[in-house]
Chain A
Amino acid sequence: MFKEAQITANDILSSAKAARLQIRCNVHESLVEAIYTDAARIADRAVNRPGDEPRFDLDRTIDRLVTSRTWGFPIMLLLFTLVFWITISGANVPSGWLFSLFIDVIYPSLKNAAEALALPWWLSGFLIDGVYLSTAWVISVMLPPMAIFFPLFTLLEDFGYLPRVAFNLDNFFKKSGAHGKQSLSMMMGFGCNAAGVVATRIIDSPRERLIAIITNNFSLCNGRWPTQILIATIFIGALVPAHVAGLISALSVVGVAIFGVLLTFAVSWALSRTWLKGEASTFSLELPPYRPPRILQTIYTSIIDRTIIVLWRAVIFAMPAGAFIWLISNINISGISIAAHMIDFLNPFGLLLGLNGVILLAYVVAIPANEIVIPSILMLTVMVAGLTNISPGAGVIFELDSQADTLAVLNVGGWTLLTAINTMLFSLIHNPCSTTIYTIYKETGSRKWTIISTLLPLGMGIAVTFLVAQVWRLVEAIL
């Protein structure tokens, strides 16, 4: 057909095109069949199988239990509650140690050193009260729970339990028009939403992948666990007798997490009926064999790797945020600090949502990292209330030895049970952190979907807290 010398790249393409019209069999199918035929033959020659299938198959026995109609879901709930309960109750004590190390030991000596060096008040305030204290706070609050949570979660992952969760939940995802593997990216999101967004790459269908990306934010990430845990402990744990307080706090945190999962279903459902219309596509998930995890190695790598990396990120963002808060609290415009101006401005809207101006401002400050919501709230509350006996000065993210102190501060700030509940809800449902937003942009390559994934949860958060606040107040007014 062609003379050797004249063949060019375009000739190849055009003869391929001609051949494509002419070939009657499906190229892909006959190729796959040919490959599998060869593969089966080669495998057959190389492998010597045992004659009989063993009568007892441990994997299937475990599978039958964890995916059973009666026990499947209770086991799931139990395992996750257990993980959170161990995290919450185990993290308290080391958190306390770290607090006293950073605040009782290091902080005064830093202050003394600054005095000895005769640093100007604004410099030592900026560095020590702003940058240092915020960092110390983040480390002592976040390190212990993460050092417990990550290894536990990794153990479950290594054992092979996660694909079974996806298997159990798939029907709900299907009914909400989403992909079954979304439960895997959702679980990655419980660690970090940015990682969860990247993990959606295992979903083939673009429509379902977008749904998974947009709803990933409803998985509580580890930046938000501390907020949930702290508020649940001091407000909800306080409602019940001391000996069950830990369990009830853990349950309420699990409750919020489950609410997040329900929201994931609801939003997926709504999206797949409006903007991202379409039926659920197919799903194929391999259930790998169970493998006994190597406990020591898992603990080692998950601490070295995940915990330190996540903590590092938190610290990087906490330092400038601490500095920023210190600055806006200490720069005055017409006699009042900038922070106070902002809080006054946000307060009416905050109250409408059952929150307050301080909380909203804290969420604005915490856009780079959710980890610093609580420290910002405490600091700003103290500043507004002028609690000079606790705080070493305005704009200082300070030490609170006990939860009782924290409670005292928040009560002065006008907090009620409603404020606490709505803060937990708002922490679950608001815009993703800036890293996640950037990741969404990179993964979708679309400004439109990035904006939607940012504003949709924020709008929903406002709606939910507003509704809860108004209904709560209505019930209060009637009673």
Chain B
Amino acid sequence: MTTNEIKAAAPACDTCPFHHTANLMKLGVDMEDWDYVIALAGNPNTGKSTVFNALTGLHQHTGNWPGKTVTRAEGGFDYGEKRYKLVDLPGTYSLLSTTLDEEIARDFILFGQPDVTVVVVDATRLERNLNLVLQVLEITDRAVVCLNLMDEAQRHGFKVDDRRLARDLGVPVVPTVARYDKGMDKLLQAICDVATHRTICNPHRIQHLAPDLKQNVSQIAAQIKAVFPDLPNARWVALRLLDGDERIAEAIRQGELGDLTSGAPPDQSNLIHPIRLETV
């Protein structure tokens, strides 16, 4: 970190500006006309809000229990002459069930069209966290994995090979310790590279589907591709349709999925769900 700061102070580096947290301008909630939107997803209690605070300088509540954040929070930062809007999402174990917090996260990743989705994962529970990562990689091909809580992994004697992980997942993987601000410069760099298409991801797609499911999925995905040629996640949409996900069916009916690829702003108005319940 100190070396970074020294370099940042040198005038020569104005031409190669993207490498230092020293270039980070925390913008707090001031985020008029941003250039890129970044979503922060991840399992509960993996440090998303801590990363969010480190990058924006805000004080989103953090707490050592799963479910601390239940609404999405937004903040901004300025890095390498570009303005970024950062969105902190509720932590979820999965994007497949339809509970309120999962829907908030899922809808934002799918319909909010973030330029980059950062998945914050707990390095000590990699397997369970990869469950979510793989789901996110089915939805979007612009993602960065933030391998957080590296200090705890070290304390428990885990060695996590982030390069190997990056190769297997096909997206950048950055080890961090968000609580003590470590690795944030590399994370910013990775975000910036993916946002500006300097890094092209080649995300891992789920392999071991049941045979008859696989066949139906590819058939429907082909149809989806025919109607929405620019959609990056036709296979995932097909899977959701087969699972009876009404929100996705609705998006197809309304042509919302088409809007996504044309870059029209998504409609977030139907994010609020009244509680439905049988009353006696």
Interface residues of A, Cβ cutoff 8 Å to B: 1-2, 4, 7-13, 15-16, 19-20, 22-25, 27-28, 30-40, 42-50, 54, 154, 157-160, 162-163, 181, 184, 198-199, 201-202, 204, 206-207, 209-210, 274-277, 285-286, 288-291, 294, 301, 304-305, 442-446, 448-449
Q: Is the CB of B209 within 8 A of A288?
A: no
- Contact residue among B127, B226, B276 (Cβ-Cβ distance under 8 Å from A43): B127
Q: Is the CB of A31 within 8 A of B45?
A: no
Which residues of the partner chain B approach A210 to less than 8 Å between Cβ atoms? 275, 277
User: Bound complex: CA of A24 vs CA of B242, how far in Å?
Assistant: 12
User: Bound complex: CA of A294 vs CA of B280, how far in Å?
Assistant: 49
B 185-228 binary contact with A (CB < 8 Å = 1; else 0): 00000000000000000001011111011001001100110110
Which residues of the partner chain B approach A37 to less than 8 Å between Cβ atoms? 207-208
Q: Is the CB of A202 within 8 A of B67?
A: yes
A-B residue pairs in contact (CB < 8 Å), sample of 23: A9-B227, A12-B241, A13-B241, A13-B252, A16-B241, A23-B216, A25-B212, A31-B213, A33-B208, A37-B207, A38-B130, A42-B130, A47-B158, A47-B159, A49-B158, A50-B157, A54-B156, A158-B62, A184-B65, A199-B67, A199-B70, A210-B277, A277-B280
User: Bound complex: CA of A20 vs CA of B59, how far in Å?
Assistant: 46
B 97-140 binary contact with A (CB < 8 Å = 1; else 0): 00111000000000000000000000010111011011100000
Complex: chain A residue closest to B250, CB-CB: A13
Q: Is the CB of A31 within 8 A of B208?
A: no
What is the CB-to-nearest-CB distance from B95 to chain A, in angstroms, rounded to a whole number? 10
Which residues of the partner chain A approach B273 to less than 8 Å between Cβ atoms? 445
Which residues of the partner chain A approach B179 to less than 8 Å between Cβ atoms? 294
Task: Please classify how large the interface on chain B is, using the bins under 10, 10 to 19, 20 to 34, 35 or more.
Answer: 35 or more
- Contact residue among B96, B126, B161, B276 (Cβ-Cβ distance under 8 Å from A31): B96
Q: Is the CB of B220 within 8 A of A15?
A: yes
User: Bound complex: CA of A449 vs CA of B126, how far in Å?
Assistant: 42
Q: Is the CB of A45 within 8 A of B164?
A: yes
Q: Is B4 an interface residue (CB 8 A)?
A: no
B 59-75 binary contact with A (CB < 8 Å = 1; else 0): 10111111100110000
Which residues of the partner chain A approach B22 to less than 8 Å between Cβ atoms? none
User: Bound complex: CA of A162 vs CA of B63, how far in Å?
Assistant: 10
Q: Is B31 an interface residue (CB 8 A)?
A: no
User: Bound complex: CA of A337 vs CA of B277, how far in Å?
Assistant: 48
User: Bound complex: CA of A29 vs CA of B223, how far in Å?
Assistant: 24
Q: Do A42 and B204 form a contact, CB below 8 Å, given A48-B159, A199-B70?
A: yes
Which residues of the partner chain A approach B168 to less than 8 Å between Cβ atoms? 42, 45-46
Q: Is the CB of A444 within 8 A of B212?
A: no
Q: Is B244 an interface residue (CB 8 A)?
A: yes
- Contact residue among A11, A27, A157, A449 (Cβ-Cβ distance under 8 Å from B65): A157
What is the CB-to-nearest-CB distance from B24 to chain A, in angstroms, rounded to a whole number? 19
What is the CB-to-nearest-CB distance from B104 to chain A, in angstroms, rounded to a whole number? 9
What is the CB-to-nearest-CB distance from A28 to chain B, in angstroms, rounded to a whole number? 5
Which residues of the partner chain B approach A15 to less than 8 Å between Cβ atoms? 219-220, 223
- Contact residue among B65, B124, B133, B244 (Cβ-Cβ distance under 8 Å from A160): B65
Q: Is the CB of B156 within 8 A of A50?
A: yes
Which residues of the partner chain A approach B64 to less than 8 Å between Cβ atoms? 157-160, 162, 288, 290-291
- Contact residue among A30, A43, A294, A448 (Cβ-Cβ distance under 8 Å from B213): A30
Q: Is B27 an interface residue (CB 8 A)?
A: no
Listed residue (A28, A162, A207) with the most chain B CB atoms within 10 angstroms of its CB? A28
User: Bound complex: CA of A145 vs CA of B266, how far in Å?
Assistant: 45
Q: Is the CB of B71 within 8 A of A204?
A: no
Q: Is the CB of A38 within 8 A of B126?
A: no
Q: Is the CB of A8 within 8 A of B206?
A: no
Q: Is the CB of A275 within 8 A of B280?
A: yes
User: Bound complex: CA of A8 vs CA of B223, how far in Å?
Assistant: 9
What is the CB-to-nearest-CB distance from A147 to chain B, in angstroms, rounded to a whole number? 16
Which residues of the partner chain A approach B279 to less than 8 Å between Cβ atoms? 275, 448
Q: Do A30 and B209 form a contact, CB below 8 Å, given A48-B159, A50-B158?
A: yes
What is the CB-to-nearest-CB distance from A431 to chain B, in angstroms, rounded to a whole number? 20
User: Bound complex: CA of A177 vs CA of B35, how far in Å?
Assistant: 49
Q: Is the CB of B70 within 8 A of A19?
A: no
What is the CB-to-nearest-CB distance from A336 to chain B, in angstroms, rounded to a whole number? 47
Which residues of the partner chain A approach B124 to less than 8 Å between Cβ atoms? 289
Q: Do A31 and B209 form a contact, CB below 8 Å, given A198-B70, A288-B65?
A: yes
What is the CB-to-nearest-CB distance from A275 to chain B, in angstroms, rounded to a whole number? 7
What is the CB-to-nearest-CB distance from B250 to chain A, in angstroms, rounded to a whole number? 10
Which residues of the partner chain B approach A201 to less than 8 Å between Cβ atoms? 70-71, 90, 100-101
Complex: chain A residue closest to B161, CB-CB: A46
Complex: chain B residue closest to A12, CB-CB: B223
- Contact residue among A27, A162, A199 (Cβ-Cβ distance under 8 Å from B242): A27
What is the CB-to-nearest-CB distance from B168 to chain A, in angstroms, rounded to a whole number? 5
Q: Do A13 and B130 form a contact, CB below 8 Å, given A38-B204, A201-B100, A209-B275?
A: no
Q: Is the CB of A38 within 8 A of B226?
A: no
Which residues of the partner chain B approach A444 to less than 8 Å between Cβ atoms? 274-275
User: Bound complex: CA of A403 vs CA of B116, how far in Å?
Assistant: 59
Which residues of the partner chain B approach A34 to less than 8 Å between Cβ atoms? 206-210
Q: Is the CB of B208 within 8 A of A27?
A: no
What is the CB-to-nearest-CB distance from B269 to chain A, in angstroms, rounded to a whole number? 13
Complex: chain A residue closest to B255, CB-CB: A9
User: Bound complex: CA of A28 vs CA of B135, how far in Å?
Assistant: 13
Which residues of the partner chain A approach B224 to less than 8 Å between Cβ atoms? 12
Q: Is the CB of B216 within 8 A of A19?
A: yes
Q: Is B260 an interface residue (CB 8 A)?
A: no
Complex: chain B residue closest to A39, CB-CB: B130
- Give chain B interface residues in 45-86, CB to chain A under 8 Å: 45, 59, 61-67, 70-71
What is the CB-to-nearest-CB distance from B257 to chain A, in angstroms, rounded to a whole number? 8
What is the CB-to-nearest-CB distance from B241 to chain A, in angstroms, rounded to a whole number? 4
Which residues of the partner chain B approach A207 to less than 8 Å between Cβ atoms? 277
Q: Is the CB of B242 within 8 A of A19?
A: yes
Which residues of the partner chain A approach B220 to less than 8 Å between Cβ atoms? 12, 15-16, 19
Listed residue (B96, B169, B226) with the most chain A CB atoms within 10 angstroms of its CB? B226
Q: Do A20 and B242 form a contact, CB below 8 Å, given A4-B226, A9-B255, A162-B65?
A: yes
